[in-house]
Structure 1
Amino acid sequence: MTTWPDIASSAQDALGGLPAGTRLVAGNACGTPLTLLRELGRRPASAGAVVLTLGITLGEPDLAEAATSGAVRVRAWHVHGEIRALHREGLVDYLPLRLIDVPEVVLDRTDVALVRVGPPDADGWCSLGPSASYTLDAIRRARLVIAEVADDMPRLVGDGAVHVSELDRLVASEVPMARYEPVVPSAVSAAVAAHVGAILPAGATVQLGIGAIGDAVAAEVSRIGDAASLRLHGMLSDPMIPLVDAIAARGGAPVQVVELLGSPQLMAWADGNPAIELHDSQRIHHPREISRIPSFVSVNSAVAVDLAGQVVAETVRGGVISGVGGSADFAEGAHLSDGGMRVIALASTTAKGHSTIVAGHAASDLVTASHYNVDAVVTEHGVARLRGRTRAERRDALISVAAPEHRAALATA
């Protein structure tokens, strides 16, 4: 007989009675439990501080009031959107963390998991919707699981479901799913993407990061992908739909993903779609698993690359803007893959015209990838191949893909 969880009349009831010191973790990306987070954001300081740890948080969780009063201490291993703004105000602690380390570092120390699920089917199974990165693991390790239930969660093939008996409290949610809006490629990002597409080997399996460059490369990979028999891995967004459809049409195996990041149109397309499979990070992100995929190409963006090849992707002038996330996991797997490649793709200048190819990084910035963990750096000016090159050769290659107006200064730095 299925054991049903408590049905709370409101999010306030569902979160009621959490003692000071309680450690919570919330679901990720488009699976962000906005109803529960907004209620947590109304926690009074008199109730005592709880600790909330987050990954990619989309939408508007409205945590500012509780973070300011000290009712909720917020930690995040990926600083995005509202969480980035709170971090600038000193209200969020940054936790540098690879995604494959989340279970051991965060979930093993979690008291309460806050998740978003779809309503149970006839057999009691609830969809985790667009995000399986660590959600199921959080549910099974936390002492208390509070789930908001929403009708807009797609049901995906794979490991994206939890039985209702594993949930302790349910609360209905009328808040729409958090959205990720792809960025329309600019002329510069499209040029970067074209250079990335030109170096992808036929039959490669490609992983892409999020952001303007990632979205541009996604569009380019989808454009050239079927002719080159390309595959995708890790994350899907709206621009990737045509390539996934093409892979299915040619009889290819389902694309394995850990997240869907996109619009309601993406979610509707993914609902019940056998062309994709949702799995957790320990399967999708783990370098051991990735190493078994031949010609795996990891493509991630960055803030800046110095002339030694060191990559800063988490910070701007010392302020955190993102996180390590899965980039290190994918890069390590690509290095171990037969024919794999680790690519950093970025525009050669910032919006203010500053060079992103730099002589050296500021002391306050965090180096996300070391100089020996990058095979190629791509800008709109071309490809700097670093693997197997000396420091002097790497320096010359990187200067060659910098913006022309900055090359002389870099050469004499």
Structure 2
Amino acid sequence: MAVVLRSSRKWFSPTLNNLSNNYFTYSNELAHPIQRETPIVCPDEAVSVIKSGDTVFCSGAAATPIDLLNAMTKHGKDNCLENVTVCHMHTEGPATYCQPEYSDIFRSSSFFMGGNVRKAVAEGRGDNMSIFLHEIPKLFFKKIIKPDVSLVHVSPPDEHGYCSLGTSVDCVRAGLMHSKVIIAQMNKQMPRTFGGALIHSSHFDAAVEVDTPLPQHGGKGPSDVETKIGKLIAENLVKDGATLQMGIGSIPDAVLNALHNHKDLGIHSEMFANGVVDLVKKGCVTNSKKKMHQGRIVGSFLIGNQALYDFVNNNPFIEMHVIDYVNDTSIVKQQPRMTAINSCIEVDLTGQVCSDSIGTRFYSGFGGQVDFIRGAAEGFDGEGVPIIAMPSATNKGQSKISPVLKPGAGVVTSRAHVHYVVTEYGIASLFGKNMRQRACELIKIAHPDHRQALEKAAFERLKVMPSK
């Protein structure tokens, strides 16, 4: 039985070839069933549709379709493909297609760069983009990026034929809506999530079935420094009834670990961490103070441990929505006591924040930091709390509070955006402070080994001693 190729308006056979021009009426609304069947094939056959010059989009984080990406890499090598662009947010897994031996075949293009493609970008074999998380879907809607093929990781279909995008809704819906061909990796271990995660299986031009664990993060407890930071934030900056945004990592986990005496907390975050599960079970996270999605945790993508995946699976308490909604500043600012907790690579003495590069070397991306820092600052209730949190020094003992940012370092969050900077030595309140006062606040929370040098550098730069 022939199945319909998406927006190119052609017929697409179960053997993924024999294209011919035939008109059909098509809806790109992913929840709308189409009267056609999806062939279940092996990964090698599924990716055989990819050809030289194609743009391939893939889902990311815990929903990285690793089996399909591995098959794509083999297909590219075996069939001598050229100039295939693979675009994505942060992905997990080996990203074999980024290895030097495949540089003439594939080129990675990151909307937010993960560690598995960092070397390729540094060596000129991959590209990265500076873009706010909430604007990534515009790349598809404005047809700046036009995927020929999308590789997506979903749950198996239910009795009505609906799959779930599971752990990653983010920009995936926008990418799929504008793709000519969609190939699905259906995984029995992908959690079923609600909100904007539903997609009818008839939209897939082919699917492969797998039963493999999702990538996991977490399990390593916060250090003493991170624990101190988490306690400072929880005890001084997070109020009962606050709505939280935080990413993944030891500092967000440390904050969550310190919130077990708080009441009526809410979660509205592009992603959330393992520690949320315990807070829900203890009754600390109720989302009862929210005016939007009251009683629901709102996220857009996630990656964590198996306990987190089990928690979100088939759980109507969790809503996963598109990133251009979750991270929209006009939505963020409506959350009660919006408290945004983000980290960075370095901060200079005026409050400029670098989060995506180490000097000239690109490290990650803009992500949702500015989306939420600004949304919290503009909170309708006037009680938003925008926070930048980091250890005072690197693992090598270098101060993360610098006289000036390293040459080539990019400013992700401007000095005017920053309200609070937190290290294990305290909280610097920068809003409403002039440069002399800002320097004083930041030096106060710097590592003691660096304070004298920072004070001297501040005087040389500002021609006045840092002072309250």
Q: What TM-score results when the alignment is normalised by the length of structure 2?
A: 0.83
1:39 to 1:250, Cα distance in 2 relative to 1, 3 A? closer
1:391: which partner in 2?
A: 435
Displacement of 1:46 in angstroms is: 2.4
1:77 to 111, 117, 120: 111
Change (3 A) 1:409 1:248: closer
Partner of 2:150: 113
Q: CA deviation at 1:250?
A: 5.6
Instruction: Identify the residue that residue 266 of structure 1 maps to in structure 2.
Output: 308
In the alignment, which residue of structure 2 is the partner of 1:241? Answer: 277
The CA distance in 2 between the partners of 1:66 and 1:365, in whole Å, is 26
* Structure 1 residues 351-370: aligned runs within 5 Å: 351-370=395-414
Aligned equivalents of 1:28, 1:52: Cα separation in 2: 12
Sort the Cα spacing of 1:215 and 1:86 in 2 relative to 1 into closer, same or farther, 3 A: farther
Q: 1:184 to 1:116 in 2, by over 3 A?
A: same
**2:133 corresponds to 1:96:** no
What is the rounded CA distance, in whole Å, between the counterparts of 1:377 and 1:217 in structure 2? 14
Counterparts of 2:286 and 2:114 in 1: how far apart (Å)? Answer: 37
Q: How far apart in 2 are the matches of 1:181 and 1:319?
A: 26
- In 1, Cα distance between equivalents of 2:186 and 2:60: 15
Matched residues, percent identical?
29
**Cα distance, 1:60 vs structure 2:** 2.4
Q: What residue number does 1:87 align with? A: 121
**1:335 maps to which residue?**
377
Q: Read off the aligned partner of 1:71 and give its amino acid letter.
A: I
Q: 1:323 aligns with which of 354, 358, 365?
A: 365
Deviations 1:98-122 (A, max 9, x none): 1111112256322222100111111
**Normalized per residue, which structure has more helix?**
1
Say if 1:174 and 1:164 are closer, same or farther in 2 by CA, change over 3 A.
same
Q: Structure 1 residues 250 and 312 mapped into 2: Cα distance closer, same or farther (>3 Å)?
A: closer
Q: Does structure 1 residue 199 correspond to structure 2 residue 237?
A: yes
What is the rounded CA distance, in whole Å, between the counterparts of 1:141 and 1:20 in structure 2? 19
SS in 2 for 1:97: coil
Change (3 A) 1:20 1:208: same
Quote the offset at 1:332 in angstroms: 1.9
Q: 1:181 to 1:5 in 2, by over 3 A?
A: farther
Cα distance in structure 2, aligned partners of 1:250 and 1:397: 35
* Unmatched runs of 5 consecutive residues or more in structure 2: 1-32, 289-294, 458-468
- 1:11 — aligned with what? 43
Could you list the runs of 5+ residues in structure 1 that have no partner in the other structure?
A: none
Note the C-alpha offset of 1:64.
3.1
Identify the residue that residue 465 of structure 2 maps to in structure 1: none
Question: 1:126 is matched with which residue: 156, 159, 163?
Answer: 163
Which of the numbers 416, 420, 429 marks the counterpart of 1:372? 416
Deviates further, 175-184 or 324-333: 175-184
Conserved in 2, the CA contact under 8 Å of 1:118 and 1:150? Answer: yes
**Alpha carbons 1:130, 1:260 under 8 Å: kept:** yes
Say yes or no: does 1:216 pair with 2:254.
Answer: yes
Q: Is the 8 A contact 1:225 1:231 kept in 2?
A: no
How big is the shift at 1:248? 8.1
User: Are 2:215 and 1:171 equivalent residues in the alignment?
Assistant: no
Which structure carries more relative contact order (alpha carbon 8 Å, separation 6+)? 1
> 1-side partners of 2:405 and 2:37: how far apart?
52
Q: 1:358 to 1:286 in 2, by over 3 A?
A: same
Cα deviation, residue 52, structure 1: 0.8
Paired residue for 2:19?
none
Structure 1 residue 137, shift from structure 2 partner: 2.1
Shift of 1:247: 4.5
C-alpha deviation, 1:67, in angstroms: 6.6
Q: TM (normalized to structure 1)?
A: 0.94
CA deviation profile, 1:301-327 (whole Å, cap 9, x unmatched): 011100000001111232222211111
How many residue pairs get aligned? The number is 410
Q: Deviations over 1:250-285 (max 9, x none)?
A: 683111111222112211121122322111112211
What is the alpha-carbon distance in structure 2 between the residues aligned to residue 185 and residue 310 of structure 1? 26
Q: 8 Å contact 1:99–1:285 — kept in the other structure?
A: yes
Residue number among 67, 80, 86 corresponding to 1:46 in the alignment:
80
What is the SS of the residue equivalent to 1:38?
Answer: helix
1:20 aligns with 2:79: no
More displaced stretch, 313-322 vs 296-305: 313-322
Residues 89 and 103 of structure 1: CA distance in aligned 2, closer, same or farther (over 3 Å): same
Q: 2:135·2:324 contact (CA, 8 Å) conserved in 1? A: no
Provide the C-alpha distance between the structure 2 equivalents of 1:173 and 1:207, rounded to a whole number of angstroms. 33
Q: 1:159-200: per-residue Cα shift (whole Å, max 9, x none)?
A: 211011222211123443222235410000010111111212
Maintained 8 Å contact 2:163/2:199: yes
